[in-house]
Amino acid sequence: MSETQRRVLGVIVTYHPDRDALLALVDALAPQVDELLLIDNTPEGEGGAESIFHPHPPPPNMQIECLRRNIGIAAAQNIGIRAALESEYDYILLSDQDSIPARDMVANLATCAEKLRKQGIEIGCICPAYFDKVTGQVFSFQVQKPTHLFYSTIPATQADPWTEVVVTISSGSLIPTTALRRIGGMREDFFIDHVDTEWCHRARAAGLHNFGTVCAHLNHRLGDAPFPVWYFGWREHSEYSPLRLYYRFRNFILLCKLPHVPLRWSIRASWYWLGNIYAHVLFAGEPVKNLRAIAKGLWDGIKGKHGPARM
């Protein structure tokens, strides 16, 4: 087996998935991985992923595990991670249900990863360039320049062929199983949101390096819908439900309290989250509900609450 043909397990986590979107994802991803494991968090009787593949069966290299309850994205990802470790895969490719990879994404990620590893670089994860289907924007990569106190962002096009990043989202990320054996899986008590951010910080604290590359591409959906926000000019912003806002702000506070998360990152990231408060309270559709959810999330984060929300 050549260095660019390492064994890859693809893991999709779903929750009330949209039929057309999930079928498109499976159609794009299944041919790119050796095995595809779909883990469904949809509660019993609420129309989970299993019903989507009837009467048409899933691809032959795909397995579906229906949990019949929502255990959170981190716990579901850890099921896939344990499967990858037990079967001695070389890599795991994580995907959300609302992503569509380019047909060569996994191969290009693996090629970049192998080239980096040949240089003696220990990889935490490597991610593609992301295109946001909600706002129509291309995500920037978050980088820490040696001469700067705080991290900055650069266009994905500058990651040619790759650049080291501080954190990234989990969907589309290729992770060597050696990294997972070294630092462990996802933090389940976060339940959802900032699970990937925490893991990236933990990887960096352990001496691993995360990368983003323009050689691979992924269409991804952030949020529920776009809405206009005034930032010295109108721009599109991704809207989240009050429940998701609760998790995003609670877990950001929990994240900042962790010893392996640098203070300078937390200070710089706080500016971004202040912008989210500004956007969702002044411009989104449910400002009062959003403000209450954000306030409760911040307070519960300060108090150290974890796990599923009780709102």
* Whether the Cβ atoms of residue 89 and residue 177 lie closer than 8 Å to each other: yes
Q: Are 237 and 135 in contact (CB under 8 A)?
A: yes
Tell me: the pLDDT tens digits for 115-145?
Answer: 999 999 999 999 999 998 777 788 999 999 9
Considering the domain boundaries, does residue 199 fall inside one?
A: yes
Q: Do residue 88 and residue 13 come from a single domain?
A: yes
Residue 74 lies in a domain: yes
Are residues 127 and 193 located together in one domain of the fold? yes
Phi, psi dihedrals of residue 41, rounded to the nearest 5°: -90, 5
Interaxial angle between packed helices 287-303 and 263-282, expressed in degrees from 0 to 180 and rounded to the nearest 10:
150
Q: Report the alpha-carbon distance of residue 31 to residue 87 in Å, rounded.
A: 19
Residues with pLDDT less than 70, the chain:
1-4, 311
Q: What rounded mean pLDDT belongs to the chain?
A: 94
Same domain, 157 and 180: yes
Decide which of 164, 196, 220 is a domain's last residue: 220
Residue 75 lies in a domain: yes
Same domain, yes or no, for 216 and 229?
Answer: no
Question: Is residue 308 assigned to a domain?
Answer: no
What is the extent of the structural domain holding 252? Answer: 225-303
Q: Give me the helices (H) in 87-221, please.
A: 105-118, 177-183, 195-205
What pLDDT score was predicted for residue 277? 97
Same domain flag for 134 and 63:
yes
**What pLDDT was estimated at residue 303?**
97
Q: What's the pLDDT score for residue 242?
A: 97
Q: Which of 172, 187, 220 is the last residue of a domain?
A: 220
Decide if 296 is inside a domain. Answer: yes
Residues 214 and 256 in one domain: no
CB 123 within 8 Å of CB 116: yes
Distance between CA atoms of 221 and 135, rounded to whole angstroms?
9
Assigned domain for 309 exists: no
Same domain, 210 and 185: yes
CATH number for the domain spanning 200: value is 3.90.550.10
Query: Residue 168 and residue 204: Cα distance in Å, rounded?
Result: 12
The residue among 220, 248, 271 that closes a domain is 220
Nearest to 65 by CA among 48, 45, 87, 86: 48
Our count of domains for the chain comes to: 2
266 and 186, same domain (yes or no): no
- Is the domain of 45 the same as that of 109? yes
Is 198 in the same domain as 212? Answer: yes
Within a domain: 311 = no
- Do 24 and 82 lie in one domain? The reply is yes
pTM: 0.95
127 within 8 A of 215, measured Cβ to Cβ? no
59 lies in a domain? Answer: yes
Question: Domain check: are 53 and 69 in the same one?
Answer: yes
